[in-house]
Every structure is written in C-alpha cells, then in structure tokens.
Amino acid sequence: MGGDPMSVDVSQRDTVVGVGAGKGATTAPVLSIVNRKGGAGKTSAVHNIAGVWGTWGLRVLLVDLDTAFNLTEACGYPEELRASGGAWLSSGALEPWDIPTMPNCALAPSGARLAAGVERMERLAIDRERYLAKLLDPLRHAYDVVLLDTKPDLDLSVTSALAAATHVLAPTLTLPQPIYGVVRSLGLVADLQEGLPHLEVIGFLPIGYNGRGLRPAALGSLVEMAWEYGVMCLPPIPFTEHAGKESQSHVPVALAYRNAPVGQYYRYAAALVGHALGLAVPVDWLDRGRQIQEQMVREVLGDEQPDT
C-alpha cells in the first residue's frame, strides 16, 4: 500500500503555544456543523477539524447524528459494532469509542440503532429538543470540545443538535446548491434563535475550492453573504483529489497530507474556529489564518469592508 495515508505518522504534533481558555475550562463548547444541503462537506469538516484539534492536544468528542453514519465509517468504527451503533441515543448510556487513527479523539457512533433513538426523542412529551443536550452535558467535563455532525434534512436530530450547541458552523462546497443550503441553514438558526439566544453562529467554511467545476466566483458570494449576516467566512479549504479515501484509511486528509494546501488550510480553519470557541490553539496558525481571512475579505469587499 505504498503512498497510502495509513502509513502517515499521525502522532506528529504541531507545537502548541496556546491562547484562549483551553484545557481546564469547566464545560466544553459544543459546535454543531449544519448545512441543509446534502453533500455540502459537513462530515469532512468534522473529521478534519477534529483531527487537527486532536494533534494539538485537545480532547475532542465527535458525535455522529446522521443515520447514514458516514462519519462513523470515516473514523473506522468496526463494522461488526454498527448494528448497535447509535444505541446510546435511546439508552442514554454513552461510552465514546477512542478513534485509533486520530489522537485525542473519541466518537459517539451512529449506526442501525440511531433512528430508534430519534423516534424515542420524538415521543417525549416535554422538552424533546433538549434531550440530546442533557445527554451530552456530563461529557462536556471530560472533553475540551464536542463536535456534532448532522444530517441534511431537517428533523429532530438537527434541531436537537442546535439546541445542544453553543456554536454553529456551516461548511459549504463552493457550488450554488450547497450555498443555498447555507442560507436555509441560517434561516433555520434565525428561526430558532428566539429559543436559543446564546447560540453563536461562527459562519461559513468553504470547501473544495477551485477544483473540478467549482467556481471561484462562488467564494465572493459567500464572503459578501457572511458580511451581510455579520458572521465569518473562513479561508477556503482547497479541492483535493484525496477526499473520500478516508473511508479506507480512516485518517483525515488534513493529517495524511499535513504539508499539502488541504492540510494547511484545515489548520487555519481549526485555529480560527477553535479560537472562536475559546480553545487553546497555536498562535502561528491563528495569526496566519487571520491574515489570509482578512486579505480575502479585502479582495472581495474592497472599500465596503467595515473597519476592524
């Protein structure tokens, strides 16, 4: 398996000179990844950002709330356990599974039993949107950050993920349809904001930029939209032909190809998002990420740009 990402030493660490609250903070922030368009890059964003945070020494809990269990597969959760995968949602007993290919990362898996958990939540008479938040709450003391991967259609699992979240991020392939999905997701967050006044929208993470058929112009629209909504548009994760191979290697592309542009840009994203969450992130990646982000905004908005 020459050149296989499995052979990559995932124990390589970036030097962490932390800023922010980080370890020792009392309750971990909860970041929900949403986009109401399917195939927008949600699962890839969770897998890669979590992978980078883990190599920075942050203890990350990944939660797969999609009955299609793509994240669970990407992490390499054993096939023979998938029949009971997701049972934690109805039982309430969640023992996260340590992910061998991602240091400091553990998974609350999805699988054949997740749907039954969602059905159970639907039957709750009172506070059903808060059930997931209550279930995750005790785990927020054992991890530095919790990341929720959601499914594209709107159901109770997605509204519950938003109710459980302290922060939201919408990844989007830089194609028109996923971008409309972002707008619909923002509409959803706005609808819920009255009931969730503390939910903080971080913004957009453009994914697969400048690759086959992906249009650079779409990035400009995203930057403008972020400005209109008063949220951040992160520097775009470049297109990579290696995406999708994680289903075999279980190593996020950001770790397998850490020195390639995809590895670097996932680090900028992990630093900027981590900082927004109050986590300890390496200052070098944060500073450089900020520079790239500010330059991108200047190029798109020119003089329209607000003073910062």
Ligand X SMILES: Nc1ncnc2c1ncn2[C@@H]1O[C@H](COP(=O)(O)OP(=O)(O)OP(=O)(O)O)[C@@H](O)[C@H]1O
Distances (CA, A) of 257 to 3, 9, 44, 251: 11, 11, 14, 10
Q: Does position 172 bind Mg ion by CB under 5 A? A: no
243 binds, among Mg ion, ligand X, none (CB under 5 to 8 A by kind): ligand X
Distance between CA atoms of 308 and 293, rounded to whole angstroms? 13
Kindly report the length of the chain: 308
- What is the chain's Cα-based Rg? 18
Q: Does position 43 bind Mg ion by CB under 5 A? A: yes
Name the region of 173 (left: φ>0; alpha: ψ -120 to 50; beta: rest): beta
Name the region of 258 (left: φ>0; alpha: ψ -120 to 50; beta: rest): alpha
Q: Of the ranges 32-40, 113-121, 184-192, 225-233, which one interacts with ligand X (CB under 6 A)?
A: 32-40
Q: Does position 73 bind ligand X by CB under 6 A? A: no
Cβ closest to Mg ion, residue 43 vs residue 72: 43
Cβ closest to ligand X, residue 71 vs residue 164: 71
Report H helices in the chain: 42-55, 70-74, 87-91, 114-123, 131-136, 156-164, 176-193, 216-229, 246-249, 253-256, 261-276, 283-301
Judged by CB under 6 A, the chain residues 53 through 72 that form the site for ligand X are 66, 70
Q: Of the ranges 3-11, 43-51, 55-63, 262-270, which one interacts with Mg ion (CB under 5 A)?
A: 43-51
Q: Which residue number places its CB atom closest to Mg ion? A: 43
Host H or E run for residue 206: strand 200-209
CB of 126 to ligand X, least distance (A): 30
Q: Report the Cα 63 to chain-centroid distance in Å.
A: 10
Among 44, 72, 101, 293, binds ligand X (CB under 6 A): 44
**230: exposed, middle or buried (Cβ count in 10 Å: 0-12, 13-18, 19+):** exposed
Q: Does position 52 bind ligand X by CB under 6 A? A: no
Half-sphere exposure of 230 (CA within 13 A, CB side): 3
Strand-pairing partners, residue 47, are none
18 binds, among ligand X, Mg ion, none (CB under 5 to 8 A by kind): none
- State the amino acid at position 30 in one-letter form: V
CB of 25 to ligand X, least distance (A): 28
Q: Does position 42 bind Mg ion by CB under 5 A? A: yes
208 binds, among Mg ion, ligand X, none (CB under 5 to 8 A by kind): ligand X
Judged by CB under 6 A, the chain residues 235 through 254 that form the site for ligand X are 237, 239-240, 243-244
Q: Does position 207 bind ligand X by CB under 6 A? A: yes
Among 70, 110, 166, 240, binds Mg ion (CB under 5 A): 70
Q: How many residues bind ligand X (CB under 6 A)?
A: 21
Q: What does the per-residue mask of binding to ligand X show for 145-184, with x meaning CB under 6 A?
A: ------xx--------------------------------
Distance between CA atoms of 183 and 231, rounded to whole angstroms? 12
Q: What does the per-residue mask of binding to ligand X show for 76-115, with x meaning CB under 6 A?
A: ----------------------------------------
End-to-end CA distance of the chain, in Å?
49
Which residues bind to Mg ion, rule: CB under 5 A? 42-43, 70
Which residues bind to ligand X, rule: CB under 6 A? 35, 38-44, 66, 70, 151-152, 207-208, 211, 237, 239-240, 243-244, 262
